Structure 1
Amino acid sequence: MTVLVLPGLHGSGPGHWQHAWLEDIEDSVLVEQRDWSRPDRGAWVETACRAVRAHPGALLVGHSLGAILIAHLAADHPELPIGGALLVAPADVEAAHDHHVVAGFAPLPSRPFAFPSILVASRDDPWMPFDRARVLANIWESALVDLGRAGHVNAESGLGRWAEGRRLLARIDGVRRPSPALRQRPSLHLVAAAG
């Protein structure tokens, strides 16, 4: 199955686990945006749409603004054949530090996804408070993984090639959309929280 990698603002630089995954996962494709530093929601969504149509059933892996891009893709194009998604450290574009740069991605989509998904959040992410990530996981009907204190889950987090993330990616097929009763629970932990 193809893995489509969707970096966030400024792209994922050297040392980021997303670049390692592009090297390590045989059937992985970088969804290349025209301008990583001046994100345009319409253009980014259209580029991602073309990538999904070229790789129906693909798993999407988004980091930061790339995770928010996946949410917009799901809301704007529910007919797309997306196999599942791993949303890592989504950026809160409604309260972001660089709000003027990412303002076009607000408001955050508020519809459940039509595909299985896992949202990975950190307890000390400067771009998304954990409680806010928990709310988004419930809204999007994503399983929530508490990564503990891992910052923005990027190169500075010291994750290297992030093997734990690869294991989560492999579990997406097994994630089911929560039943209405399960939706009342604040989160669904798939892995033990890190320290």
Structure 2
Amino acid sequence: MSVQERLRTLVLPGYQNSGAGHWQTRWEALNPSFERVQMPDWDHPERDAWCRTLDEAVAAADVPVVFAAHSLGCLTVAFWASQYASAAQLAKVAGALLVALPDPTGAHFPQDVSGFAPVPLTRLPFPTLVVSSSDDPYGGVPFSQTCANAWGSRWIDMGARGHINADSGLGDWDEGRKWLASFGAAA
């Protein structure tokens, strides 16, 4: 059995979903084992609904999963793991790539998002990698470092890359796929 058959990558976009040029969308096009978790309302995210949707996606997976999360998708993973998931669900998670954490108390955090503060600052029960940008308008380096330290995550600063989205010019973002592959995912 290949790595691709042994793992499913659940793609967790943030607020308003990820468009055509976003690295998450590009990764899905490159690998059929990547599956976007379709949230109930991309424009008015509500923590409980998003976490329950993630829980359903993990429950439906018949193989272990890894998360490729961006922005609000990262906070969804943290809340799900610390407040929603059962031990059996957590045991299915091989790791999480958490990119561009938004600070829900920050000035640029969307007003039509509810329930994502305060961010849980407890150790996550699976391996995680937090990737940050030094000029992310939604969440700065200090916030991402605080989360990474609390969650027991490895932390990487990419330098000035904005919100690490389609506007960052990453294309297929091979480096990110290598980081994801470190959890055993097919990249």
TM-score, length of structure 1 as denominator length: 0.85
**Alignment counterpart, residue 78 of structure 2, candidates 71, 75, 93:** 71
| Higher RCO (CA-CA < 8 Å; seq separation 6+) | 2
Shift of the 103–94 alpha-carbon distance from structure 1 to 2, 3 Å rule, reads farther
Distance 2:55 2:168 in 1: 30
In the other structure, the counterpart of 1:192 is none
Distance 1:142 1:98 in 2: 23
Say which SS state the counterpart of residue 112 (structure 2) adopts: helix
Q: Partner letter of residue 20 of structure 2?
A: P
Shift of the 109–99 alpha-carbon distance from structure 1 to 2, 3 Å rule, reads same
Say which SS state the counterpart of residue 97 (structure 1) adopts: coil
Structure 2 stretches lacking a partner, 5+ long: 1-6
Distance 1:125 1:78 in 2: 33
Do 1:75 and 1:113's aligned partners in 2 also have CA atoms closer than 8 Å?
yes
How far is 1:108 from its partner?
A: 0.3
Say which SS state the counterpart of residue 102 (structure 1) adopts: coil
Distance 2:104 2:155 in 1: 19
Q: Partner letter of residue 167 of structure 1?
A: K
Runs of 4+ in structure 1 deviating by more than 2 angstroms, as ranges, are: none
TM-score, length of structure 2 as denominator length: 0.88
Shift of the 15–99 alpha-carbon distance from structure 1 to 2, 3 Å rule, reads closer
How far is 1:96 from its partner?
A: 4.6
How far is 1:93 from its partner?
A: 1.1
Identity %: 41
How far is 1:152 from its partner?
A: 0.3
Do 1:48 and 1:73's aligned partners in 2 also have CA atoms closer than 8 Å?
yes
Q: Output the aligned Cα RMSD.
A: 1.3
**Alignment counterpart, residue 16 of structure 2, candidates 2, 10, 29:** 10
Structure 1 stretches lacking a partner, 5+ long: 174-195
